[in-house]
């Protein structure tokens, strides 16, 4: 018997649906434990909201985050699997299932041409969805795993050297957390995959697979690698840069490392962060037609990690030769390249003086308040808000991202709506929504995106169109607040926390229209959304120029300054690199 095309397509569709909606059990339990032990009030509230969002997504069968990432598949084929039409037929089924899921779940149509930005609206295109294959001896089955991962923030690659060793690896690990943790662009708590060795592409691939395809709590079979995983987990949590960039006891849920033998002169490292929207679903299909939906993709097997030329089941995993070699590396890296004495100096010349004067404001004197406001907002509505307040919005708001800003502001196309008088709140979002009939739209999940990218358009947006509030993820820089936002009396609201698209999606009561979708595509078009009690939204920047993030900078920076005292500088610097962890990276 062979597995039919129809079955492959049906299972692949179901996997896309499950991945978008339901947090896998291992991750959900880890979130629950993190929420229970969290001692920081902001982080605790955010973690409870993440758990609440997971339940809402399942209850209303909507995507857990409004950004449904890039759908992709991991395929593990047993050596004896029989596929009707072979692997080419499988790929056709995976593509067809992705188109159907994009329309019906719906998934956000995220895939665009990288240069023209044309959006086919299906999440299918050149090289998309990507499909990765691995094989297993024997096995009359095929495992399909759907993963939806964004990938804009949190991942990085760096070529280190044997002289950097494990201390250098730790430095790069922390650098990556800090770079994307400022303002929480990576949406912690994260599961981190670290690919160590191989070549540049291989370590990046291994890091991604390790973050997406291993279960929380799983340890590498090589004791040395397992030990490194635990050390990195502890180090990551000592940074305390958690959800929304605020202090948290658990910014990292787990760390998974994978190794590959590498060039004798190098130590390439690929780091991949999987955000708290853990979107993964696996099924095993047997030749006789049985289907098992599984929690564990079991991606990393003895066979995949095999070390020698041939493979017999039970062959030792890379726990001896690789392990010993890395121990040696660690010792080498403890010595200074010049005089052989232990290298413990910080990369930061003088932490205190590195903090720009006045960058950390004093928290607002009055306690934060909760507001329920109607759109359009009046000037009084906006001026009474202070950084740290929480807002719920009811009324009609419009979406705008790169496409709308370029078209409307740079190219001068007048908006089809009266922004100043009727719709003076914009969200930097693209909903997970679909056109269900000509001119009729539905939204089931909504999340704002990182706002710092749109700074160049804000002054003109406020001046020309009278916008009074901008809603995004992570806010903008304090400098933007003190110049542009203050000048126009505008507030910046941030979703709280990020990635709870099911909760925000529930507040969307209707879609009035999607403008400019033919020019800009569904994702980048201007959506006009009726919302009811959309929130909670944090006032990140107020009309006086105060920044909530800047008010909390000192407490967030303190643990970092301690950690960096233990970490070496890396041998090969990057051009223009910033190595001050207190530096605000968002300009």
Pick from 208, 195, 194: nearest CA to 280: 208
For residues 50 and 249, the answer to whether their CB atoms sit within 8 Å is no
DSSP-assigned letter for residue 3: B
| Rounded Cα gap, residues 98 and 120, in angstroms | 12
Instruction: Report 8-47 residues binding ligand SF4 (CB under 6 A).
Output: none
- The least CB distance from residue 212 to ligand SF4, in Å, is 12
Choice between 183 and 386, CB closer to ligand SF4: 183
- The least CB distance from residue 200 to ligand SF4, in Å, is 24
| Rounded Cα gap, residues 523 and 531, in angstroms | 18
SS3 290: coil
Judged by CB under 6 A, the stretch of 250-258, 272-280, 351-359, 511-519 that binds ligand SF4 is 272-280
Helices (H) and strands (E) in the chain, counts: 18, 18
Judged by CB under 6 A, the stretch of 213-221, 275-283, 357-365, 374-382 that binds ligand SF4 is 275-283
Choice between 48 and 199, CB closer to ligand SF4: 48
Quick one: angle between helices 553-566 and 223-239, nearest 10? 150
The site that binds ligand SF4 (CB under 6 A) totals a number of residues, namely 11
| Candidate list 24, 71, 139, 150; residue touching ligand SF4; CB under 6 A | 150
Choice between 73 and 180, CB closer to ligand SF4: 180
- Residues belonging to the chain: 587
Asked, as a colleague might, if the bond just before 497 is cis with ω within 30 of 0, I would say yes
Judged by CB under 6 A, the stretch of 124-132, 271-279, 352-360, 529-537 that binds ligand SF4 is 271-279
| Candidate list 75, 269, 277, 467; residue touching ligand SF4; CB under 6 A | 277
| Candidate list 8, 30, 56, 65; residue touching ligand SF4; CB under 6 A | 65
Taking CB under 6 A as the rule, does residue 146 contact ligand SF4?
no
Judged by CB under 6 A, the stretch of 41-49, 274-282, 503-511, 527-535 that binds ligand SF4 is 274-282
- The least CB distance from residue 308 to ligand SF4, in Å, is 39
Choice between 273 and 282, CB closer to ligand SF4: 273
| Rounded Cα gap, residues 77 and 585, in angstroms | 43
Taking CB under 6 A as the rule, does residue 498 contact ligand SF4?
yes
Q: Longest Cα pair distance anywhere in the chain, in angstroms?
A: 74
- The least CB distance from residue 128 to ligand SF4, in Å, is 17
Taking CB under 6 A as the rule, does residue 63 contact ligand SF4?
no
Measured at CB, which residue is nearest to ligand SF4?
Answer: 499
Asked, as a colleague might, if the bond just before 231 is cis with ω within 30 of 0, I would say no
- The least CB distance from residue 263 to ligand SF4, in Å, is 33
Judged by CB under 6 A, the stretch of 64-72, 242-250, 263-271, 418-426 that binds ligand SF4 is 64-72
| Candidate list 193, 388, 451, 499; residue touching ligand SF4; CB under 6 A | 499
| Rounded Cα gap, residues 396 and 568, in angstroms | 52
- The least CB distance from residue 582 to ligand SF4, in Å, is 24
| Rounded Cα gap, residues 251 and 181, in angstroms | 9
Beta bridge partners of 370: 390
Give residue 267's Cα distance to chain centre.
26
- The least CB distance from residue 155 to ligand SF4, in Å, is 11
Choice between 123 and 447, CB closer to ligand SF4: 447
Judged by CB under 6 A, the stretch of 65-73, 244-252, 341-349, 507-515 that binds ligand SF4 is 65-73
**Judging by DSSP bridges, how do beta strands 141-149 and 70-78 pair with one another?**
antiparallel
| Candidate list 155, 361, 447, 557; residue touching ligand SF4; CB under 6 A | 447
Instruction: Report 156-195 residues binding ligand SF4 (CB under 6 A).
Output: 187
Give residue 500's Cα distance to chain centre.
12
| Candidate list 83, 275, 408, 539; residue touching ligand SF4; CB under 6 A | 275
- The least CB distance from residue 514 to ligand SF4, in Å, is 21
Choice between 169 and 274, CB closer to ligand SF4: 274
Residues 6+ positions from 57 with CB-CB distance below 8 Å: 21, 22, 23, 63, 64, 445, 501, 502
Choice between 38 and 580, CB closer to ligand SF4: 38
Tokens of residue 460, six digits: 């003109």
Choice between 484 and 537, CB closer to ligand SF4: 537
Instruction: Report 521-580 residues binding ligand SF4 (CB under 6 A).
Output: none
Give residue 533's Cα distance to chain centre.
26
27-58 CB burial, b ≥16 within 10 A, e <16: bbebbeebbeebebebbbbbbbbbbebbebbe
Pick from 260, 236, 180: nearest CA to 228: 236
- The least CB distance from residue 429 to ligand SF4, in Å, is 10
Residues 6+ positions from 469 with CB-CB distance below 8 Å: 377, 382, 393, 424, 425, 426, 490, 491, 492, 493
| Rounded Cα gap, residues 147 and 70, in angstroms | 8
DSSP 401-423: -HHHIIIIIIS-PPPSS-TTTT-
Taking CB under 6 A as the rule, does residue 67 contact ligand SF4?
yes
Binding residues for ligand SF4, rule: CB under 6 A, are 65, 67, 69, 150, 187, 275-277, 447, 498-499
């Amino acid at each position: 018997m062979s597995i039919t095309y129809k079955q492959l397509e049906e299972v692949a569709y179901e996997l896309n649906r499950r991945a978008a909606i339901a947090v896998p059990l291992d991750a959900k339990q880890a979130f629950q434990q993190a929420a229970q032990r969290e001692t920081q009030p902001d982080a605790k509230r955010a973690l409870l909201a993440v758990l609440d969002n997971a339940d809402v997504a399942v209850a209303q069968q909507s995507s857990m985050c409004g950004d449904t990432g890039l759908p992709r598949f991991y395929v593990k084929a047993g050596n004896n699997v029989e596929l009707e039409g072979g692997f080419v037929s499988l790929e056709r089924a995976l593509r067809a299932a992705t188109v159907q899921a994009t329309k019906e779940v719906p998934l956000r149509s995220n895939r665009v041409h990288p240069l023209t930005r044309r959006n086919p609206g299906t999440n299918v295109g050149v090289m998309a969805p990507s499909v990765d294959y691995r094989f297993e001896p024997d096995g009359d089955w095929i495992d399909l795993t759907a993963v939806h991962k964004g990938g804009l923030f949190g991942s990085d690659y760096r070529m280190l050297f044997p002289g950097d060793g494990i201390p250098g690896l730790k430095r790069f690990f922390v650098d990556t957390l800090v770079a994307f943790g400022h303002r929480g662009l990576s949406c912690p708590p994260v599961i981190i995959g670290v690919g160590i060795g191989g070549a540049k592409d291989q370590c990046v691939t291994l890091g991604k697979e390790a973050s997406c395809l291993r279960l929380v709590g799983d340890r590498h079979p090589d004791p040395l690698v397992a030990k490194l995983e635990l050390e990195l987990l502890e180090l990551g949590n000592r940074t305390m840069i958690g959800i929304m960039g605020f202090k948290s006891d658990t910014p990292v849920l787990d760390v998974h490392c994978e190794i590959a033998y590498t060039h004798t002169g190098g130590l390439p490292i690929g780091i991949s962060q999987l955000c708290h929207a853990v979107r993964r679903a696996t099924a095993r299909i047997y030749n006789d037609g049985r289907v098992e939906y599984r929690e564990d993709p079991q991606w990393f097997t003895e066979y995949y990690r095999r070390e020698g030329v041939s493979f017999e089941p039970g062959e030792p995993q890379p726990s001896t030769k690789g392990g010993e070699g890395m121990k040696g590396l660690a010792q080498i890296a403890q010595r200074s390249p010049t005089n052989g004495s232990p290298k413990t100096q910080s990369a930061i010349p003088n932490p205190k003086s590195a903090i720009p004067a006045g960058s950390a404001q004093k928290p607002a004197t009055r306690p934060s308040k909760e507001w329920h406001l109607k759109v359009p907002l009046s000037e009084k509505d906006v001026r009474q808000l202070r950084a740290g307040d929480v807002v719920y919005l009811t009324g009609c708001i419009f979406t705008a991202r790169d496409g709308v800003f370029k078209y409307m502001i740079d190219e001068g196309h007048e908006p089809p709506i009266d922004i100043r008088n009727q719709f003076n709140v914009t969200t930097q979002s693209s909903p997970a929504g679909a056109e269900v009939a000509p001119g009729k739209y539905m939204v089931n999940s909504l999340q704002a995106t990182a706002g710092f990218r749109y700074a160049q358009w804000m002054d003109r947006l406020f001046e020309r169109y009278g916008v009074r509030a901008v809603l995004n993820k992570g806010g903008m820089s304090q400098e933007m607040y003190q110049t542009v936002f203050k000048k126009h009396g505008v507030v910046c609201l941030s979703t709280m926390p990020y990635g709870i698209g099911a909760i925000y999606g529930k507040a969307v009561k209707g879609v009035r229209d999607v403008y400019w979708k033919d020019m800009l595509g569904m994702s980048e078009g201007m959506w006009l959304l009726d919302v009811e009690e959309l929130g909670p939204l944090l006032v990140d920047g107020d009309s006086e120029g105060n920044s909530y993030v800047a008010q909390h900078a000192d407490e967030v920076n303190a643990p970092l300054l301690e950690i960096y005292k233990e970490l070496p500088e890396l041998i090969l610097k990057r051009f223009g690199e910033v190595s001050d962890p207190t530096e605000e990276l968002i300009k």
